[in-house]
């Protein structure tokens, strides 16, 4: 529990928040249905609605995009004095070529295998986030088009396809309103960590360290 407490706690907070989202979401959905003279749905039925898919994956896509971009950008860009940045002009262990590493039994298998497997593995963290982003982006479009078509049908208007929905301003508004908040928070974290501290946190520099120094 101590060795994995950070992941376990965040996983538990995710589950609690997700359950809260589902329970409050189905109630909100049914209230809207009843206000339009439409039947409500069960909890299981709500999980299959476009409203649920849209609400879930439009948020997930922004999180995966944020982290994927953050992983890539921190490999090449710097912010002097920030705990979120490597030190400009200094070689860091993360920059080492794994092909030059001495063989060791605990070395990850892709490093020992080499070739294309290693090429993919040395970028596997960003690849994972971008694949999850692409999947969430598509599911956002699928759920959003279903919710949009339901609204159109209730007003006697024609619906659209998933690709058609992806061409609407509504789809991009849903995406950009989430993306902008994610990049704003990351920029704030990078800049604030130059001057502010949180004793004991790996996301902070030592409290007594100078603002211009980077903790690496």
The pLDDT profile of the chain, 216 residues, written as one tens digit per residue, is: 999 999 999 999 999 999 999 999 999 999 999 998 889 999 999 999 999 999 999 999 999 999 999 999 999 999 999 999 988 888 889 999 999 988 888 999 999 999 999 999 999 999 999 999 999 999 999 999 999 999 999 889 999 999 999 999 999 999 999 999 999 999 999 999 999 999 999 899 999 999 988 765
Number of domains in the chain: 2
Does 95 lie in the same domain as 67? yes
Last residue of a domain, one of 14, 32, 48: 48
Q: What is the per-residue pLDDT for 215?
A: 60
Q: Domain range holding 43?
A: 1-48
160 and 76 fall within a common domain:
yes
**Model pLDDT for residues 152-167, shown as the tens digit of each residue:** 998 899 999 999 999 9
129 Cβ neighbours under 8 A, 6+ residues apart: 64, 65, 67, 68, 71
Same domain, 113 and 154: yes
Same structural domain, 112 and 20:
no
d(CA 27, CA 21) in angstroms, rounded, equals 10
Q: Tell me what pLDDT residue 36 has.
A: 85
| Final residue in a domain of this structure, among 27, 48, 69 | 48
Residues 69, 44 share a domain: no
Claim to verify: residue 68 and residue 139 sit in the same structural domain: yes
Angle between helices 124-154 and 50-76 (to 10 degrees): 150
Q: Are residues 58 and 43 in the same domain?
A: no
Indicate if 9 and 74 belong to the same structural domain.
no
The reply to whether 119 and 191 lie within a common domain is yes
What global pTM score does this model have? 0.91
Do 84 and 30 fall into the same domain? no
Shared-domain flag, residues 70 and 166: yes
Shared domain check, 206 and 158: yes
Tokens (6 digits) for 163 = 């690709």
For the stretch 143-201, pLDDT in tens is 999 999 999 998 899 999 999 999 999 999 999 999 999 999 999 999 999 999 999 99
């Amino acid at each position: 529990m101590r060795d994995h407490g950070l992941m376990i706690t965040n996983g538990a907070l995710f589950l609690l928040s997700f359950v809260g989202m589902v329970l409050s979401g189905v109630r909100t959905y049914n209230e809207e249905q009843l206000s339009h003279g439409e039947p409500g749905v069960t909890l299981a039925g709500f999980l299959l609605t476009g409203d649920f898919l849209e609400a879930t994956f439009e948020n997930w896509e922004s999180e995966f995009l944020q982290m994927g971009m953050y992983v890539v950008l921190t490999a090449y860009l710097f912010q002097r004095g920030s705990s979120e940045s490597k030190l400009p002009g200094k070689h860091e262990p993360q920059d080492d070529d794994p092909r030059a590493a001495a063989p060791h039994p605990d070395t990850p298998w892709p490093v020992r295998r080499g070739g294309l497997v290693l090429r993919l593995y040395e970028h596997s963290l960003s690849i994972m986030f971008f694949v999850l982003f692409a999947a969430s982006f598509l599911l956002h479009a699928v759920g959003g088009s279903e919710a949009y078509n339901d609204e159109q049908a209730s007003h006697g208007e024609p619906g659209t396809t998933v690709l058609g929905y992806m061409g609407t301003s509504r789809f991009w508004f849903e995406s950009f309103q989430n993306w902008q908040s994610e990049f704003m928070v990351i920029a704030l974290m990078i800049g604030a960590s130059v001057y502010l501290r949180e004793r004991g946190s790996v996301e902070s520099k030592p409290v007594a360290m100078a603002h211009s120094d980077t903790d690496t």
